[in-house]
Chain A
């Protein structure tokens, strides 16, 4: 039994990282993730771990590169514009096969946008974001408890695959205060990390360690082709073994909502409201935005379900739903344009989702 705390999602991310034996954190101020950075600034020095307030998000992500190069568990956190700034190095982290965790508490865009909630970074998180071919596992918490648990899982998956793992939250999940049980999760054995730099006299074999981001130039792979082949094999393993999602009342559903993060909680309420009115709706909630449950959706489409994507953007995840159904089902969208207010305080609320469910039900 872990410690029970009443905390925000952003703080729960810190608790999860601390529990997962994260040894170094680097962060730069940006709303709405400041509670994450402030948690590490407060807690890490007294735990004897490394906290650095960087000079920019470019600083954060490259310090993360350096920390990950030692093989120790390390993390950074930011919000959408800062996440954009980091992209070059995320690509380098993937090439150098450095395990690390990056948190993106999404806010509105494009550009400066509002500093309040939105879910507009789906493409950028799931498609790489930086240059070149790579993929990162993207975990999408929908509660404070998941912020804690999925952050722990993120460190495990990063070490398992030697790959960056993204925790994509949003301003509502980040600032929502809920009861969280902070408990250390065990996920199984992991490979040794004898590749990390620390000074060549510190290694058992007395040989130097090199961390590089080119793959073939200094002997990690025999050729560029070998590097790409190996990365592709890793991408396929992550796709087949790390898919996570949750189904709610989907067994008999004629219409299945697909959502993640805060809008998944709204969608769940809309499913309950529609069930009260006799409409057989269900919810498929993403826990990993990448890998995406293409096969699951494809199978349900072949059994005759229609789909409704609920996401606080102009429509990004909905494209993955469309890819999955292969034209066999209707795919609707409740988007950021369906918010209850035109200001940046507007939210997607259950009654709007219910209205769209009813429209699709009539079709």
Chain B
């Protein structure tokens, strides 16, 4: 009988034998799976290098079976720049949190945007710092209680949530900028397709590509996984609408 594999765990995921590092209900492993599937869809798993940031993204080192680099907090865009310049035909991508990219990592982000680096940045937007215990992030919502905004984020003191995908779309060097989510199977499949598009932009040498993914952090939101799904739809999505903000085949 001729059997074709139509479903199953992506081959680029490391089988988890010991305790799984991510919290119950966390969306980051789903993002990792979508990345692995997108790389497999493109047949590029053998030619991919993932650069993971400090924080929960660093645990991807243990679950994604690809060549990987991890370095100082906030610096994956710099690290990815060098790897991509040395191996231009590889897919080189970073996975970072909202704090890692938009706060401590804002300098290297501006660098790759200014130089039009042909890399992909995947930003996990969960509106808090995860690993360190739920502090305010640049993406925290107005009024959102975090461990460093106990009375809620107050615009007069703490400013406003940063909209990364919209901001990055304004740069001439950006080929592709999108915001997606993995809160249901439909959105998950969309995310996988967006990642394929983002990786294709760098394979075709078009320009910089950016994928922001709204992601649940039940532990730091102090919610159940099910309530977290509702919070994504009712609170995060109105502030951070899903959608494609730029998609071009030529920088100009």
Given A200-B46, A202-B46, are A54 and B78 also a contact pair (CB < 8 Å)? yes
Q: Is the CB of B61 within 8 A of A58?
A: no
Given A54-B111, A55-B114, A70-B87, are A197 and B82 also a contact pair (CB < 8 Å)? no
Interface of A: prevailing SS: mixed
Tell which of A61-69, A141-149, A165-173, A181-189 binds the partner. Answer: A61-69
**Residue on A with the closest CB to B111?**
A55
Tell which of A2-10, A205-213, A233-241, A296-304 binds the partner. Answer: A205-213
Q: Is the CB of B67 within 8 A of A198?
A: yes
Most buried by B among A67, A199, A200, A214: A199
Q: Is B30 an interface residue (CB 8 A)?
A: no
Chain A: minimal CB distance from B236 (Å)? 30
Q: Is the CB of A59 within 8 A of B111?
A: yes
Q: Is A175 an interface residue (CB 8 A)?
A: no
**Residue on B with the closest CB to A72?**
B86
**Residue on A with the closest CB to B113?**
A55
Chain A: minimal CB distance from B144 (Å)? 30
Given A202-B46, A212-B61, are A197 and B67 also a contact pair (CB < 8 Å)? yes
Q: Is the CB of A201 within 8 A of B86?
A: no
**Residue on A with the closest CB to B14?**
A208
Tell which of A88-96, A110-118, A251-259, A280-288 binds the partner. Answer: A88-96
Q: Is B161 an interface residue (CB 8 A)?
A: no
Q: Is the CB of A201 within 8 A of B47?
A: yes
Q: Is the CB of B80 within 8 A of A66?
A: yes
Given A55-B114, A198-B90, are A62 and B71 also a contact pair (CB < 8 Å)? yes
Chain B, range 78-125, C-beta contacts under 8 Å to A: 78-83, 85-87, 90, 107-108, 110-111, 114-115
Q: Is A176 an interface residue (CB 8 A)?
A: no
Chain A, range 62-83, C-beta contacts under 8 Å to B: 62-67, 69-70, 72, 74
Chain B: minimal CB distance from A30 (Å)? 16
Size of interface on B: residues with Cβ below 8 Å to A: 34
Q: Is the CB of A200 within 8 A of B45?
A: yes
Question: How many Cβ-Cβ contacts under 8 Å join chain A to chain B?
Answer: 132
Q: Is B238 an interface residue (CB 8 A)?
A: no
**Residue on B with the closest CB to A201?**
B46
Give bound CA distance, A56 to B66, whole Å.
Answer: 29
Chain B, range 46-63, C-beta contacts under 8 Å to A: 46-49, 51, 58, 61-62
Chain A: minimal CB distance from B55 (Å)? 13
Q: Is the CB of B47 within 8 A of A69?
A: no
Q: Is B189 an interface residue (CB 8 A)?
A: no
| Size class of the contact patch on chain A | 35 or more
Given A55-B108, A56-B107, A198-B49, are A50 and B72 also a contact pair (CB < 8 Å)? no
Q: Is the CB of A197 within 8 A of B81?
A: no
Contacts of B67 in A (CB 8 A): 197-200, 208-210
Give bound CA distance, A208 to B36, whole Å.
Answer: 14
Q: Is A224 an interface residue (CB 8 A)?
A: no
Chain A: minimal CB distance from B207 (Å)? 16
Contacts of B162 in A (CB 8 A): none
**Residue on A with the closest CB to B65?**
A208
Q: Is the CB of B81 within 8 A of A63?
A: yes
Give bound CA distance, A66 to B82, whole Å.
Answer: 5
Q: Is the CB of B61 within 8 A of A96?
A: no
Chain A: minimal CB distance from B150 (Å)? 30
Identify the B interface with A (CB < 8 A).
45-49, 51, 58, 61-62, 65-72, 75, 78-83, 85-87, 90, 107-108, 110-111, 114-115
